[in-house]
Amino acid sequence: MRKPIVLVVMDGIGKGKGDFSDAVSLANTPTLDMLMTNYPNILIKAHGTAVGLPSDADMGNSEVGHNALGCGQIYSQGAKLVNESIERGEIFESDVWHEVISNCLNNNSILHFIGLLSDGNVHSNINHLKSMIIKAKESNVTKVRVHILLDGRDVPATSALEYVDDLESLLAELNCDNFDARIASGGGRMKITMDRYQANWDMVRLGWETHVLGEGRQFTSALEAIKSYREEFNVIDQDLPPFVIAENGNPVGRMNDGDSVIFFNFRGDRAIEISIAFDYQDFDKFDRKYVPKVVYAGMLQYDGDINVPKKYLVSPPNIKNTLSELLVEHRIKQYAVSETQKYGHMTYFWNGNRSGKFSDELEVFYEVPSDQVPFEQRPWMKAAEITDKVIEAIESGEYGFIRCNYPNGDMVGHTGNIDATIIGVEAVDLGLARILEAVTKKDAILIVTADHGNADDMVEIDKSGNLQMKTAHSLNPVPFIIFDKNKAYSIKPGNYGLANVAPTIARLFNLDIPKHWEESMV
């Protein structure tokens, strides 16, 4: 008889230095501490090459992390995927790139770029944008407008002007009598455009009005907008309100029939909704007021199951042979749960960027609706409700594999509020204690890990040598723990990453590990 396995992903909870910057070590976590002290565990890699990113200087993220956790393999991801396409010139040879450019040439129209302006390598990279602008000029496009989303989350919290200066320098170098490129609009990534999992369509509405319609508070430059908003609202980059660049009261980048639009983020979760707003004829999430007839393309296809967007420049990794497929093949019923903020990670990303199920009979997904309040104001989030559903699934005896995600360490960690993050981590530990009790009663196996670090590294030194709150993910490893009340598993020595988790689960189920997977840790 196979024992049921329960996997807990503590999103954003890595192993830090144990100092004043480490909200995980500052939190009261008796259950996590007990498991790390008394049961087999190892630290595993959750960033860089271990999750398919270009180098080990690249922080991991929840999307590539859950891809790796769910498939047991390492695929080229995100920035690396696009880097390879640009380096080989494939992106500029694609049919979609030619369509985007031809549309502008045939209509003497504007090529618009929308996306996150940073080099965080989580959602986007400014160098991809710069390469495309340069190529657009070489292709005889005459007008380019860039609609910038400010980061402050995957990069230092108030670094926006560095990226704006970098982009403005390039545009000034390129601009001439036959080429006119400008920043046209913008706003903080947590205020406009980049909502995910349909948690707040109002963000997307604000983005549409700002980028497409050119509606909103006007400024003469992005520099003026950012400085003005910082003085008025005293918020970090991700929370800056939307702005529109205008001349003589007229927006410089309103979109019109015949234009082309590229959304240059490569990560899917926060790109899907704005893409739906462009792509869907029968869109009903908000009043778009005016829908220009444009050629719209994403950097990648953000959701292959619902075909969004219809046009894209770089093909996403074709992830095959996932753990879910293996378990379905062996008739092992699965249950996945999280709240809205990470529900897609436990389902879509876990299953290899697929919205659907491999088996309606053998896969059950449950979404706990997230609260629409700032995370630092309710740092416990939906940890209790997620725990309730996990325990319900364990006690039912219906499932062989149960997985959940607690978003607290990541979502609260991104706010830069270390006190709130400590509470968020403690909420996860409380949930873990309850799950541990249920697992013990049912003689199930409990695996605890994380998809990347965040809460474990929340303070950094800026260029002036001053301490500031860090809102980005960390490069720290994450724990991997196995609890079984009746058996002490031996973890083999080795350098492991997130892709080794699925093979380990397969081994615990006494299943043959697919030959193209990474190795098991036991």
* CA separation for the pair 8, 337 (Å, rounded): 10
* CA separation for the pair 343, 349 (Å, rounded): 9
DSSP character for 513? P
For residue 305, count CB atoms less than 10 angstroms from its CB and return exposed for 0-12, middle for 13-18, buried for 19 or more. Answer: exposed
Residue 309, token pair as written in the block? 């967007």
Q: Where are the beta strands (DSSP E) in 203-320?
A: 218-219, 243-247, 250-251, 260-263, 295-300, 312-314
* CA separation for the pair 336, 398 (Å, rounded): 13
Count of CA atoms in the C-beta half-sphere (13 A) of 306: 14
Query: DSSP labels for 86-136?
Result: HHTTHHHHSHHHHHHHHHHHHHT-EEEEEEE-S--SSS--HHHHHHHHHHH
Which contiguous run of DSSP H or E holds residue 166?
helix 160-174
Q: Are 101 and 141 in contact (CB under 8 A)?
A: yes
* CA separation for the pair 374, 271 (Å, rounded): 21
- All residues at 6 or more sequence positions from 165 whose CB lies less than 8 Å from its CB, including other chains: none
The candidate with the shortest Cα–Cα distance to 322, out of 398, 391, 245, 401, is: 401
DSSP character for 258? T
Q: Which residue's structure tokens are 């494939």? A: 90
- All residues at 6 or more sequence positions from 513 whose CB lies less than 8 Å from its CB, including other chains: 72, 503, 506, 507, 519, 520
Look up residue 216 and give its amino acid. Answer: G
DSSP character for 51? G
- Phi/psi for 66 (5° steps) reads -75, -30
Out of 62, 85, 94, 109, the active site residue is: 62
Cis peptide, bond prior to residue 309, ω within 30 of zero: yes
Question: In the annotation, is 62 catalytic?
Answer: yes
Q: Could you list the active site residues?
A: 62
